[in-house]
Structure 1
Amino acid sequence: MHKKKIHIRTLIQIFFFILILLISINKTLSEKGISIPYIPTASLHALCPFGGVVTIYQYLTTGTFIQKIHESSFVLMIIGFIIAILFGPLFCGWICPFGTFQEFIGKLGKKIFKKRFNNFVPYKYDKYLRYLRYFVFAWVLYATIVAGKLIFQDVDPYYALFNFWNGEIAVGSIVILFITIILSLFIERPWCKYLCPYGAVLGIFNLIRIFPIKRNNKTCINCKMCDRNCPMNIKVSEKTIIRDHQCISCLKCTSEYSCPINNTVTIESIIPYKS
């Protein structure tokens, strides 16, 4: 049962990774007069919900979008927020192609370093480093407002990953992509954990999500399997309701995946059920 559930998430991740890859390739091909049938030729900017976030200020003040940002980004941002209010950052844990990319590299890291993988950064430092992404978000938002253009593209490893074959990629984004690849061999999802500005935004919704992950103290046997399986190093075994801003809603800690006791770590509504 557990393996089947894990495969569903993996298949969804692979689907979106391949989809974005094909769309990006098709965009490049379309500029040369050829294209892959039935595959959209949209720019990655049109498919990124974070584009909607960074253009909010300009849209509210002028009614226009920042250059390269499309209406679709705004729509995807709203959809992402609605999903996050309900289930937290599902986008991060199930859909984001760059998160998937890091996760797959991490599988190699697990084979190399075994139990040391994702445990290289001491907790006393890690607990502070996790807030770096909020500073990154603040900088990106401020710089975008001041410049009136898409600043983040120049340092965005996601954009570099799916566009490294064309001349639009800034050196900064290539460098950050390379560093992320290396770190992914040691740390699970290093970009997501420490630097991703969109992950920072979605992480806030963990504080108010309607369907949080809960741990049943009465049935918990304190095996800490939930802790060991959490890619974001959240101490699930020490919490009753997971409200950590780092949770990516991958559900790896739940009884459907790793917890050996049924109905002990589950995703449930905070709204009491009345029969």
Structure 2
Amino acid sequence: MRLPPAIRERLNSLLLFIALFLLWEFSCVLFHVSPIVLPRPSVVLLTLLRSLPALWPHILQTLLTTMVGFAVGMVAGVLLGLLVGVSRSAYNTAYPLLVGFSSIPKVAVVPIFVLWFGSGTIPAVLTAMTTCLFPIVVNVATGLATTEPEMEDVLKALGASRWQVLRDVSLPRAMPYFFASLKIAVTLAFVGTVLSETVASNRGIGNVMMMASASFDVPLAFAGLFALALLGVLLYAVFALIERRVCGWAVRKTDIA
């Protein structure tokens, strides 16, 4: 029986995932790699399951911090993207500043946030927010800027105001760009959160990984990586599902994730 293309593609992805883990497992066994250098994935999974009760509060802390920072960054990114996308003067003024700010390594701003707000959750939220801000601004502004001038001219000829053109044409036109940026930004927000937790927090997966590395508990550090990867994939899938529900009209190919 021939499987549908969508199911076949998912099975291929699953088989590739399993093959990579088997290659990792057998390579560690074959070359006698020390667990301190690179633990086997089976050991990492067992460590994750065994440590899950202790890791769970840290996982929730990282997830909550990431989502708060992501939400703040999304709101700020949409507002800045609207401003930059609809105003040429705002584009010429703000866009170079945004590019310059995004070029600063976020590890360099964490000590500044700690200096201003102390160690804890606030620096992690701010780091997550600044990490995911730029992709949202760029994509929203790009979606607004690529609106077909012919559509705007038709609506203006029919008496539509600038706000009506923005609401009825430009914003729907920018939705695919917006959701594409969300899928990227939510994964970047995890990077910012964990980066801050390794420097200035006593809770979260980043802090657990830092303490595990200091005590040479490498399987536990990799277990934290596995947990982060799983959270990132789940949130990416959630926003991909929302994207398909909200703007499935923009998908012209069946092979788009």
Pick the TM interval, shorter chain.
Answer: under 0.3
| Larger RCO (CA under 8 A, 6+ residues apart) | 2
User: TM-score, normalising length from structure 1?
Assistant: 0.24
Give the number of the structure whose alpha-carbon radius of gyration is greater.
2
User: TM-score, normalising length from structure 2?
Assistant: 0.25
Higher normalized helix content (fraction of residues): 2
